[in-house]
Amino acid sequence: MGFCALAVTTIIVWAATGPVFNFSDTWQLVINTGTTIVTFVMVFLIQNTQNRDAESGRRFFLEFLDRVFC
């Protein structure tokens, strides 16, 4: 719930600041840079989560094989 409220607040602030800065090139550059950074961080976090999940599955499978065949 908190993250959703933060996202909505960010969008409202973004929409409100556009007319204040006359939708200038600098305003667009700041917005694009911010979204690029957020996208990079999200991709990194998703990849990290997938790697941890894969490692967990590999450990489970190896433990299963040890119990069945040893």
Q: Map out the domains of the chain as residue ranges.
A: 23-70
Signed CA dihedral, 42, 48, 54, 60: sign only: negative
DSSP string for residues in 2-19: HHHHHHHHHHHHHHHHHH
Predicted TM-score (pTM) of this structure = 0.64
Report yes or no: 12 and 4 within 8 Å, Cβ to Cβ.
no
With 70 as the cut, is the pLDDT of residue 1 above it? no
Quick: pLDDT tens for 10-38. 889 888 998 998 989 998 998 899 889 98
The rounded percent of the chain whose pLDDT value lies above 90 is 41
Average pLDDT over residues 26-54: 91
**Where residue 7 falls among pLDDT bands split at 50, 70, 90?**
confident
